[in-house]
Structure 1
Amino acid sequence: MTIDVLVPDEQEGTKAVVRAWLRQVGDAVAENDPLVELETDKVTQEVPAPAAGVLSEILLDTDAEAVPGALLGRISTDITQSDPPEHSRGTRPSAAEASRSARTSPSTSLGMNGGGEARLSPSVKRAVLQHGIDPARLSGTGRGGRITREDVDRAVGAATVVSVGAPATAQPRQFAGGDIPHDRMRLKIAENMVRAVSDAPHVTALFEADFSAVAAHKAALAAEGTKLSYTAYIVKAAADAMAVAPAINGRWEDDRIAVSPTIDIGVGTALGDKGLVVPVVKDAGALSLEQIGAKLDDLTARARAGKLTGADVSGGSFTISNHGVSGSLLASPIILHAGQAAILGIGKLEKRVVVREIGGQDAILVRPMAYVTLTIDHRVVDGHQTNAWLTRFVEILEGWPAA
């Protein structure tokens, strides 16, 4: 008896490719063991084994396109020692033995096995060789302690030059010139960026926001034990601002402007040298500030651990790029996400000298300020709607929580 291994139906809209098989033909697997990695421009997804047995066939190999529902391979669940498949690499165990072996044998782990020898996926092997990383020093976050590509990327980002007083486990980082090969995620990001700029006329409007009220509210909640990020306030304010210009939450179609019935806000999350992903807070307009904060904490943690699913990064109707967290005051234009009419940019939050009227007199004050931009698809909305949306967005932030 064989069980089909299929590409999940839910994935980001762009096509997926097979990144790496984590088991080879003839390997024993337990149910839900990670079997194969798929990659789009937004997320890397592990497909688990649907049943215990032996991987008998691989039908879509590395770099093959993987459309939803496509057949990746097959697992034999009733193989005996006397009846191995024709392309077997030696005698195979029964399904029950395979399940026990997969759960108990350290050699099935794609991290470090008991003898200290690494069994790594092809993409991980390439990464450790490229960056000079010793896999023996990595702690795998994949299932069963398996070393993933994200583990290698984090090690590269945190690598330091070993010097006197540095921890013995620090990874030396090689600083040298040379080419950096494109990985599939980078190629997909590039392809989508070019298409987005070609399809939609980008126009950007710039406002400035005073975060004094948000900072005070945030501090008051923290004193009560509720810790929220500034991003939670930004998502909430963006969702509430849609009431004055609903088309901002829409998209261009050949025969109409389609306005989404729910406000599903994607938040760009940087992944170091690998670019970024955009997990989506679904139906943000129906959530409280605290609920948005909890959703963001969960999505951000899973994004940086490489644990997002296709459903987590699909279905967005609006996007926020909080580029100020990496130090920039202004980024323009921020390229639109495919199928969306607008993207909000938030610059670095910093103290600035501003002039305010107090008691009929001008006063010079120091306030936490940030530039905010709205880049729009000019086919969908015009300057009037853009400025109305930004005006309301800033009013909400500056009047928190009463606005």
Structure 2
Amino acid sequence: MADLINVLAPEEQEGTKAVVRNWLKAIGEPVALDEPLVELETDKVTQEIPAPLTGILHEILMQSGENAEPGAVLGRIRLEDASIAAVDAPAAATATQPAHVDQAIRYSPAVRRAIEDYGIDPATVSGTGKGGRVTRGDMDAAHEAALARGPVPTLQPAKAPSLPSTLADKPSSDRRSRFVPHSPMRLAIAEHMQMSVSTAPHVTAVFEADFSAVIRHRDRSKVASGIALSYTAYIVAACVSAMKAVPEVNSRWHSDRLEIFEDVNIGIGTALGNDGIVVPVIRDAQNLSLAGIAARLQDLTTRARANALTPADMRGGTFTISNHGMSGSLVATPIIINQPQSAILGVGKLEKRVVVREVDGIDTIQIRPMAYVSLTIDHRALDGHQTNAWLTRFVETLESWQQ
């Protein structure tokens, strides 16, 4: 009897739970060592699980949509020679797979979304992923090229699936609606947010920050070592300064003690449109220069939007920034804490506002680039005095930027 080797879910995963999203191989098909075999999706990342060895996919134990606990057996690979595999593969595939397997299922969720958004046939796109696989970045580049040079071959829109009878049979009303199934990422985010609100008493303080000094510095040094300086890089650096003044903010609440972290690992909330939010982490930010922070930030956000983050990129955060002003809001409150952290910073839209400034003892009316900044805390771990002290140092750092 042929030897069977288990395909396991990672023992360590980022997110509240993992869901089997898509098998990239059918039962009976040959697989090569480290070849992408199955996709797992959490509330933060989609991860390809590689084949642990070369062989034949013998058995699929966890189907699409099932929850995969760390270490769970997802399937099994059979160790056999090529001649036996060639005989067994067609029969096994016929017994377990429909005859009209849709080849589009072999693409990642991000690529399949791009197929729907752009109507581009991925078979016409050169893949830059492992083994020539087409990535979301490849699809985005093909779309941009299409806009520049004209149309490319497209897929016919898929016929929308009919609603299940439990929904289709509902009595009609005077309001029209449609049902959009929740993705595993959306369900996991909802669960995590509900847990945070239920666990921690949220309190929010709001300050106002003048970005004049930051803008002057950025205009003088728009590019440092080939890395664009974003406003978020300055915000991360100001967070590091504030942590030195109030280290308790960089902490985790335990029932019998407060754990204060020496390393400042700052997560940056990054929106993926309707797909949800991921939070890649800038590790050891206290040891990085402004240019170093900018470089790390540019790398993480680029890979986040290309669906190329790994679980390691989002593990170990001790504090989080929600730059909600990027989408236009002035104030968002309360911004829900990313458990098990003790606080989260919110940064509103940067806009010119009329303010009063004293010059030589005389009040003057000036136009300054201003933004509301908020710190939402777990009131079990922190009090108003610490919250305001942290925000005071944070704002002072931004407003006195001279280096």
1:280 to 2:281 alignment: yes
Distance 1:291 1:265 in 2: 14
Q: TM-score, normalised by structure 1?
A: 0.81
Match of 1:69 in 2: 71
1:8 to 2:4 alignment: no
Q: CA deviation at 1:223?
A: 6.1
Question: What per-residue deviation string (whole Å, max 9, x for no partner) do you get for residues 333-384 of structure 1?
Answer: 1011110110000001111111111122222221111100000111110000
Percent identity of equivalent pairs: 54
1:143-222 pair list within 5 angstroms = 143-144=130-131, 146=133, 167-168=150-151, 178-222=178-222
Match of 2:297 in 1: 296
1:4-403 pair list within 5 angstroms = 4-82=6-84, 88-90=89-91, 118-121=103-106, 124=109, 134=119, 136=121, 139=125, 143-144=130-131, 146=133, 167-168=150-151, 178-222=178-222, 226-401=227-402
Whether the aligned pair in 2 keeps the contact of 1:10 and 1:311 (CA below 8 Å) is: no
Comparing 341-350 with 237-246, which one deviates more in the overlay?
237-246
Comparing 196-205 with 61-70, which one deviates more in the overlay?
61-70
Distance 2:10 2:290 in 1: 32
* 5+ long unaligned stretches in structure 1: 93-109, 111-116
Across the aligned residues of Structure 1 and Structure 2, the Cα RMSD in angstroms comes to 3.5
Whether the aligned pair in 1 keeps the contact of 2:19 and 2:68 (CA below 8 Å) is: yes
Task: Assess, with a 3 A threshold, how the Cα gap between structure 1 residues 69 and 194 changes in structure 2: closer, same or farther.
Answer: same
Aligned residues, how many?
Answer: 371
Distance 1:25 1:233 in 2: 51
Task: Assess, with a 3 A threshold, how the Cα gap between structure 1 residues 330 and 151 changes in structure 2: closer, same or farther.
Answer: farther
Task: Assess, with a 3 A threshold, how the Cα gap between structure 1 residues 55 and 397 changes in structure 2: closer, same or farther.
Answer: same
Distance 2:92 2:370 in 1: 68
Task: Assess, with a 3 A threshold, how the Cα gap between structure 1 residues 42 and 11 changes in structure 2: closer, same or farther.
Answer: same
Task: Assess, with a 3 A threshold, how the Cα gap between structure 1 residues 367 and 133 changes in structure 2: closer, same or farther.
Answer: closer
Task: Assess, with a 3 A threshold, how the Cα gap between structure 1 residues 226 and 315 changes in structure 2: closer, same or farther.
Answer: closer
Whether the aligned pair in 2 keeps the contact of 1:84 and 1:91 (CA below 8 Å) is: no
Q: TM-score, normalised by structure 2?
A: 0.81
Whether the aligned pair in 2 keeps the contact of 1:118 and 1:135 (CA below 8 Å) is: no
Task: Assess, with a 3 A threshold, how the Cα gap between structure 1 residues 78 and 222 changes in structure 2: closer, same or farther.
Answer: same
Task: Assess, with a 3 A threshold, how the Cα gap between structure 1 residues 372 and 392 changes in structure 2: closer, same or farther.
Answer: same
Q: CA deviation at 1:291?
A: 1.0
Distance 1:173 1:81 in 2: 40
Q: CA deviation at 1:53?
A: 2.7
Distance 2:13 2:5 in 1: 22
Q: CA deviation at 1:122?
A: 8.8
Distance 1:125 1:371 in 2: 34
Distance 1:148 1:387 in 2: 45
Match of 1:100 in 2: none
Question: What per-residue deviation string (whole Å, max 9, x for no partner) do you get for residues 272-320 of structure 1?
Answer: 0011100011111121111111111111111111111111112111000
Whether the aligned pair in 1 keeps the contact of 2:15 and 2:43 (CA below 8 Å) is: no
Whether the aligned pair in 2 keeps the contact of 1:11 and 1:309 (CA below 8 Å) is: no
Task: Assess, with a 3 A threshold, how the Cα gap between structure 1 residues 392 and 374 changes in structure 2: closer, same or farther.
Answer: same
Distance 1:83 1:290 in 2: 54
Task: Assess, with a 3 A threshold, how the Cα gap between structure 1 residues 259 and 2 changes in structure 2: closer, same or farther.
Answer: same
Distance 2:110 2:358 in 1: 62
Whether the aligned pair in 1 keeps the contact of 2:120 and 2:153 (CA below 8 Å) is: no
Comparing 47-56 with 18-27, which one deviates more in the overlay?
47-56
Distance 2:14 2:397 in 1: 32
Q: CA deviation at 1:233?
A: 0.7
Whether the aligned pair in 1 keeps the contact of 2:121 and 2:153 (CA below 8 Å) is: no
Q: CA deviation at 1:79?
A: 2.7
Match of 1:95 in 2: none
